[in-house]
Structure 1
Amino acid sequence: MARYWDDHTVYSQPSAEELRRKAKESASTAKKKGKNYSPIMPKSRRGEICTSWWGQAWCRNLESYADYSSRLDRGKGYVRSGTVIDLQIHDGKVLAKVQGRRRSPYNVEIRIGRLSEENCQKIIDKCSTRIESLEKLVSGEFPEELKEVFTSEGGLFPTVREISFGCSCPDWALMCKHVAAVMYGIGVRFDENPFYFFSLRGIDVDRFIGVALENRVEKMLQNAECKSDRIIDEDISSLFGVI
C-alpha cells in the first residue's frame, strides 16, 4: 500500500555548466525587468574562496559548524559555479537569490542576531588600545592585529545559535546547499568590504569608530597627567657634560 510520506523522488544534480547557463539567463531576465543584481564571483575556483584574512576566517568559522558539514561542500561548489546571482547585506540580514535546477532562482534569507551592547563595548575597547589600528579602521581597512575582534567569544562572528536561515527550495534540510552557498558568498562580500561585518551585527560603523577614537583620546589625556619613569629630571647640561 502506498503511503503519503513514502516519497523517494530523486532529483538529478545539474552540472556546473548548466547552473552557470541558467544563472546567466535569470540575470538577463531580471535586467530586462529593471532589476540590478549583485552577483557573487569568487576569484578562484580552487583553494580558498576568499582572499582577505577576514574573509578566510569567516569561512573557517562557518566550517566549524559540524552539524552542517555535509552541506557546506555542496554549497562551496555552488558558489564557485556562479549560482549566487544576487546577494545584499542589510542591517542584521542577508537577502540572496541562488540559481538551482529550476528555471527561477531560489530566494534565501539569512538573519543574524545583533551584537549585544556589552560585547560591542568590549570590541570598542580593544580597538581603542592601538592608534595604528584606529588609523587603519578610519582608512577602511581591518588590521590583522585585531583578528581577535572577529574570532573571540562575543566577537563579530556569530555562533550557530545567533543565525537563522530559510530558502524557498523544496529541500527540507535545515541548511540546504543554497543557504550554504550564500554563507560562503557572504565571505566574498567581506573581501570587498570588511565593514559589512558591522552592518550584519547591527552596528553603525561610523559611530563605532567615533566612539573608539573618543575613548583613545580620553585615555591619552589621562596618561598625559601621569609622570613617566622615562622623564629626565636632572639638568641635561650637567648630565652630558655640557658647559
Structure 2
Amino acid sequence: MSKYWDSSTRYSQPTASEIRKKSAASRKKEQAKGKVLEPVSVQGRTIVKSWWGQAWCENLERYADYESRLDRGKRYIRTGAVIDLKIQKGKILARVQGTRKTPYKVEIRISPLSEEKCQSIISRCGKKIENLEELLAGNFPEEMKELFQGKDGLFPTPIEISFTCSCPDWALLCKHVAAALYGVGVRLDEQPLLFFELRGIDVGRFIDVTLANKVEAMLANAEKPSSRIMEEDEVKGLFGVL
C-alpha cells in the first residue's frame, strides 16, 4: 500500500557535468528568446578573490542558519549553475539550473538600511576613508573593516535576508538560493559598487558625508588650543631663557 509520507523516497543529485550541460542549454534557449543573461562564472577552485567578495562570503558563513546548505551552493556556483544574476536596490534576482530542465527562479530581498544605522557607520568611519579608490579596493584599516562585517555593520544579517525559490525543496535555505548568494560574492569581486547599490547607499554621498564630517570636526577643534603647545614659562625654563 502506498503511503502519503514515504520516507524511502530519495532525490538523486545531478552530476557536475549534467548541471553544466543543462545550464548551457538553458542559456542558449533564453538567449534565443532575446533575453539578456548575466551568468556567474567562477575561474579556478577559489570562488572569490577580492576583499569585497571574500567579506561577503565570510559574512554568510558566520551564521549557523545557513550552514547546512552552503556547501551545496558552492558546488552549484562552481559548475556554472547560476545562469543569470542581477543585483538591484534591496533585491537579488537569479536563475539557477537544477535537476529539472527549466532553471529555478530565485529572489533574495535585503532589508533596507535605516538612515540611523547608515549615519552611525558614517560617524564611526571618521577619517578612515580618504577616497573612493581605497574603499573599492578594500584598502582601509582593519578597524574600519569591522564597520562592514561586524555587529551592526553594513553587511546583512540573516534577519535582514529573505528569499524564495521556485524549486520543490522545503528547506529554509535551498542550494539554489545558496548558489545565488555565493554568486553575489563573485559579482562583488568584479563590481564592488554593487554592494552599495544592494544596500541602497549612494556611495558618492557616503564618501562626501564622511569627509564633510571629518572637516567639520577639524574646524570645530581649530579654536581649541593644542595640549602640545607649551606655555611661555615652560619654554623659558626649557631653554634657560630668563
Q: TM class, shorter-chain normalised?
A: 0.7 to 0.9
User: Alpha-carbon deviations, 1:118-175, whole Å to 9, x = none?
Assistant: 2111111133323xx2314577433331211211111111111111111001111111
Aligned-pair identity in percent equals 58
Q: What is the distance in 1 between the residues matched to 2:49 and 2:61?
A: 16
Report the TM-score, using the length of structure 1 for normalisation.
0.86
Q: What is the distance in 2 between the residues matched to 1:231 and 1:35?
A: 68
Query: 5+ residue gaps in structure 1?
Result: none
2:67 maps to which residue?
69
1:128 is aligned to 2:120: no
Q: What is the distance in 1 between the residues matched to 2:112 and 2:28?
A: 35
Q: What is the distance in 1 between the residues matched to 2:111 and 2:133?
A: 23
1:18 is aligned to 2:14: no
CA contact (8 A) 2:97 2:104 kept: yes
* 1:26 partner letter: S
2:31 maps to which residue?
31
Q: What is the distance in 2 between the residues matched to 1:25 and 1:109?
A: 22
Q: What is the distance in 1 between the residues matched to 2:48 and 2:135?
A: 21
3-state SS, counterpart of residue 34 of structure 1:
coil
2:190 maps to which residue?
192
2:201 maps to which residue?
203
Residues 18/147 of structure 1: CA separation in 2 closer, same or farther (3 Å cut) = same
Q: What is the distance in 1 between the residues matched to 2:216 and 2:186?
A: 36
Residues 57/68 of structure 1: CA separation in 2 closer, same or farther (3 Å cut) = same
Q: What is the distance in 2 between the residues matched to 1:44 and 1:198?
A: 27
1:147 maps to which residue?
145
CA contact (8 A) 1:138 1:209 kept: no
3-state SS, counterpart of residue 163 of structure 2:
strand
Query: 5+ residue gaps in structure 2?
Result: 233-237
Q: What is the distance in 2 between the residues matched to 1:220 and 1:58?
A: 34
* 2:42 partner letter: P
3-state SS, counterpart of residue 226 of structure 1:
coil
Q: What is the distance in 2 between the residues matched to 1:126 and 1:195?
A: 20
1:6 is aligned to 2:6: yes
Q: What is the distance in 2 between the residues matched to 1:207 and 1:136?
A: 11
Q: What is the distance in 2 between the residues matched to 1:155 and 1:137?
A: 21
Q: What is the distance in 2 between the residues matched to 1:186 and 1:199?
A: 12
1:214 is aligned to 2:218: no
CA drift at 1:198:
2.0
Q: What is the distance in 1 between the residues matched to 2:134 and 2:52?
A: 17
CA contact (8 A) 1:156 1:197 kept: no
Q: Which one is further off, 100-109 or 196-205?
A: 196-205
Q: What is the distance in 2 between the residues matched to 1:65 and 1:127?
A: 25
Q: Which one is further off, 62-71 or 168-177?
A: 62-71
CA contact (8 A) 2:86 2:94 kept: yes
Count of aligned residue pairs for this structure pair: 233
CA contact (8 A) 1:55 1:187 kept: yes
Q: Which one is further off, 84-93 or 134-143?
A: 134-143
Residues 140/152 of structure 1: CA separation in 2 closer, same or farther (3 Å cut) = closer
